[in-house]
Amino acid sequence: MPEFLAETCAPRGAPGTPVPSAADLARAAGQASGPQGPVRFLGAIAVPEEETCFWLYQAPSAAAVRAAMTAAGLRPERITPAVPIRPPPPAPGPPAAPRFRQHQAQAAVTARSARTARPDPGPALDD
């Protein structure tokens, strides 16, 4: 499904202007989903210095994104198709031992070393 980047103006210090929560945005996206396909809110990035906020959606069309954003109380200035570039998944490796087991193993080695270490009795004294 295509992804879209939407841009809104986010004026600095605009008192009384509530910002929708991620849950509100996801709910509005679900309500804007239609027969063409679902609309999913993927995340947002606010850039306060630039008074801008970028919103990432997965949707069948820019019109579906506009409907979702409008339902959430946002006014997108621009919506453009976006191409996601994400890091590759981590390479599979050997399963790591849980930390508590590593700690237990180290404690056992330390205890074993303490039991086997005998104090040096020093030189033998002749009676």
Predicted structure pTM score: 0.59
In a domain? residue 34: yes
Condensed to tens digits (0 to 9), the pLDDT of residues 5-38 reads 999 887 665 555 556 667 766 666 666 666 677 8
In a domain? residue 71: yes
In a domain? residue 126: no
* Helix ranges (DSSP H) in the chain: 22-32, 62-71, 99-116
CB 37 within 8 A of CB 1: yes
Domain membership of residue 39 as a residue range:
3-82
CA distance 91 to 62: 35
In a domain? residue 72: yes
In a domain? residue 95: no
In a domain? residue 121: no
What's the Cα-to-Cα distance from 100 to each of 103, 105, 108, 113, rounded to whole Å? Answer: 5, 9, 12, 20
CB 75 within 8 A of CB 11: no
Q: Residue 14: what pLDDT? A: 56
Strand, coil or helix: what is 47?
strand
CATH number at 50 reads 3.30.70.3090
Count of domains observed in the chain: 1
